[in-house]
Amino acid sequence: MVRAAVLPAVGSPLEITEIELPEPGPGQVRVRLAAAGVCHSDLSLSNGTMQVPVPAVLGHEGAGTVVAVGEGVTHVAPGDGVVLNWAPSCGSCHACSLGEVWLCANALRGVGDVYAKRAQDGADLHPGLNVAAFAEETVVAEGCVLPAPDGVPLTDAALLGCAVLTGYGAVHHSARVREGESVAVFGVGGVGLATLQAARIAGASKIIAVDVSPEKEELARRAGATDFVVASENTARQIRGLTGKQGADVAVECVGRAVTIRTAWESTRRGGRTTVVGIGGKDQQVSFNALEIFHWGRTLSGCVYGNSNPADDLPVLAEHVRSGRLDLGALVTEHIALDGIPAAFDNMLAGKGGRALVLF
């Protein structure tokens, strides 16, 4: 038996309890977690913004050590360090055939499976986003593990599995930031901090961080922000003032709220690009009129998992880490135990801090 954070029902508090894991079957891998990041997507799963079968063990950003493998697994072995990949591509759907593996139609095919039992009553448990990282150990499909990069501690490598792949991909794959361009990043949480670092790596000339909390300015500047704006109804005007009255070349929205998406759009120059990373609810409606779409010539695009291919991008990110260009420690504002996850959810709701990292 191992301890895990279980979501018993949508909207209910997490329960820290013991669960029973089976031995890995064919094509499965059992992993002992070293660390797991607490992502806003986990909060969205707990409150029903994103829907998965419950009861479930949440957590999708993690790294650990392989304990055992099932029949047919050859790319990892017991003792190997691995990074969890919550959205493994199938390689055969339409999106995968186009090379857009981040849009794989079958990436979440495992969330409806029963992967464990709750020890106290034998209730079936589902893996929240395939990997159930909020547990001391987990059993996942072999496609959900990637070899951990050399030279990166597993406790740091955990962050590569979501926050860094998303933030880096938003800048380099979706917005395609070019050297010398200006970038505005809305939301200075874990993904926002990764996005700021990615903009710095891309050679952006001006990097403007926007957040409702003025306390996040130091965090943002440490990640690469050259300017900091406290979000208000004047945000777009302030960003234009910082960019020669033109607006930013690129805006990356990491919040998932209609008002923030709209402001990010208004903050970009004529012909600029706005990339939306934040996951919002169906009630968050964003409106544009036909004339402004024509006049401003801006591009608005969604961004799933950073439009990344984890197998290709992890080695690139690892090289940035080893060279010192990417500071994973700068994303983490709190180290917690498993029972600290509910408080980390509260901090996210209150807009506090960057990434909370569960250490096992």
Q: What is the per-residue pLDDT across 89-113, written as a single tens digit (0 to 9) for each? A: 999 999 999 999 999 999 999 999 9
CATH code, residues 2-161+327-359: 3.90.180.10
Where in the chain are all domains bearing CATH 3.90.180.10?
2-161+327-359
Question: pLDDT tens digit string along 228-243?
Answer: 999 999 999 999 999 9
Does position 52 have pLDDT exceeding 90, yes or no?
Answer: no
pLDDT at 292: 96
Residue 206 makes CB contacts below 8 A (sequence gap 6+) with: 182, 183, 226, 227, 242, 243, 248
**Quick one: pLDDT at residue 204?**
98
What value does the mean pLDDT take over residues 119-133?
95
Residue ranges of the chain that CATH labels 3.40.50.720: 164-304
User: Could you read off the pLDDT of 26-35 as tens digits, one per residue?
Assistant: 999 999 999 9
**Residue 170 reports pLDDT greater than 90:** yes
| CB contact set of 23 (below 8 Å; sequence gap of 6+) | 30, 68, 70
Q: How far apart are CA 153 and CA 337, in angstroms?
A: 18
SS3 123: coil
Check whether 350 has a pLDDT greater than 90. Answer: no
Helix, strand, coil distribution of the chain in percent, nearest 5:
35, 25, 40
CATH domain 164-304 topology: Rossmann fold (3.40.50)
Q: What is the pLDDT of residues 63-73, one digit of tens each?
A: 999 999 999 99
pLDDT tens readout for residues 261-310: 999 999 999 999 999 999 998 899 999 999 999 999 999 999 999 999 99
What CA–CA distance (Å, rounded) separates 148 from 154? 7
